[in-house]
Amino acid sequence: MGAGARDLAELVGAELGRPAPPAAAVLAERIRERHGAATAAVVFYGSCLRRETNEGVLDFYALVDSYRAAYASRLLAAANALLPPNVFYLEAECGGERVRAKVAVVSLADFARGAAGRGLRTGIWARFCQPALAVHVRDAAARAALVAAVVESHLTAVGMVAPLLPEGERLAWEQLWLRVFQETYAGEMRPEAAASLEKLYAADPARYDRAGAAAFRELSERAPDELRAEVLEGGFRIERSPERRSRVGSRLRRLLAKAAYVAQLLKTAFTFGDWLPYALWKLERHTGTHIEPTERQRRHPLIFGWPILWRVLARRDLR
């Protein structure tokens, strides 16, 4: 591990080790109860963590030893192994308030692969190059594996966009991270306005500046013949980067990534549980529009509830 990776490990270790808000702690305990001793870690991330709020749905990853150990159902275990993660919805009471969670279940091994950018989906490295909080970690080995994967997520994010940035120009750290966020959202059916992406960086510029500098140092040390970047005061300059991928190759990869994302959404409709009330609640919360489902949609949401789901997706509300 080079100096850049050690700096990243120090940064993410401190972030992961912060005290958990009460709502996150209650929900994490529910997640642990669901998957039992197979639960190596429960990690809180996303907009509710960033905004320090319980409003909305809190996002978690549950990292498990294996899928067979995490489920009583062989079908759920097989679905998780075939197209990870499985995604579930749960609710709990915290201080007299109902709090909600969306939980992605993935094995430690698949989490590490996703963090390293192996596979079509951007999900893991895209999310975990941003701040996260480990609400539960089973032991020292699980903590070390989690920190290593989150460090790798940062390296993957920076390494992915380096070939897309101009060489020889002085660039600000904000330019790096905005490009990272653009590329990660482009890999899924989740287009975001530029102002929304800017808010991600603006939430903690010093943190992202440090992470970018550490990532470039580590990547330059690992493969100096492929990538060489100079860290400057307030920014950086890329002196050499890997060859740019062809436009055809990039478009093909993006199309395949979106196909995988659609397949994941379809699978989530079966694993999520009672998703129709959740989708309606999301729609009403974001738009103020109340939709009363028909009796047929209530009874058979997987057959007749799709018009509601696509309406929510069209507004980019189901995250």
Residue 264 has pLDDT above 70, yes or no: no
Q: In whole angstroms, give the CA distance from residue 277 to residue 280.
A: 5
Judgement on whether residues 280 and 193 belong to the same structural domain of the protein: no
In the chain, at which residue ranges do the beta strands (DSSP E only) sit? 39-45, 57-64, 86-94, 97-107, 132-137, 170-172, 228-232, 235-240
Q: Which residues contact 227 (CB under 8 A, 6 or more apart)?
A: 159, 162, 216, 219, 220, 238, 240, 241, 242
pLDDT at 134: 98
Tell whether 256 and 182 lie within a shared domain. no
pLDDT-wise least confident of 120-134, 184-198, 204-218: 184-198
The verdict on 256 and 170 lying in the same domain is no
Q: Give pLDDT, residue 41.
A: 98
In a domain, 45, yes or no: yes
For residues 234 and 257, state if they share a domain: no
Question: Which of 221, 247, 273 is a domain's end point?
Answer: 247
CA distances from 66 to 79, 81, 83, 223, 319 (A): 13, 9, 14, 33, 25
Per-residue pLDDT for 317 more than 50?
A: no
3-class SS string, 37-66? HHEEEEEEECHHHHHCCCCCEEEEEEEECC
Question: Is the domain of 161 the same as that of 16?
Answer: yes
Say what the pLDDT of residue 115 is: 96
- Based on the domain organization, do 70 and 138 belong to the same domain? yes
Which of 128 and 250 is assigned the larger pLDDT?
128
Domain boundary among 247, 268, 294: 247
Question: Same domain, yes or no, for 216 and 258?
Answer: no
Is residue 258 pLDDT above 70, yes or no? no
> Do residue 217 and residue 265 come from a single domain?
no
Instruction: With respect to residue 204, please indicate whether it lies within any of the assigned structural domains.
Output: yes
Q: What is the mean pLDDT of residues 186-214?
A: 82
Q: Is the pTM of this model over 0.85?
A: no
Q: Are residues 287 and 170 in the same domain?
A: no
pLDDT tens for each residue of 204-245:
999 999 999 999 999 999 988 889 999 999 999 999 888 655
For the cut 60, the answer to whether the pLDDT of residue 249 exceeds it is no
33 occurs within a structural domain: yes
Q: Which domain holds residue 180?
A: 3-247
Asked, for residue 254, whether it belongs to a domain, the answer is yes
Q: Which of 199, 220, 247 is the last residue of a domain?
A: 247
- Residue 118 and residue 143 in one domain: yes
Residues 149 and 289 in one domain: no
Reference 209, options 169, 240, 236, 184; nearest CA is 236
Asked if the structure places residue 319 within a domain, the reply is no
Domains identified in the chain, total number: 2
- Whether 194 and 48 share a structural domain: yes
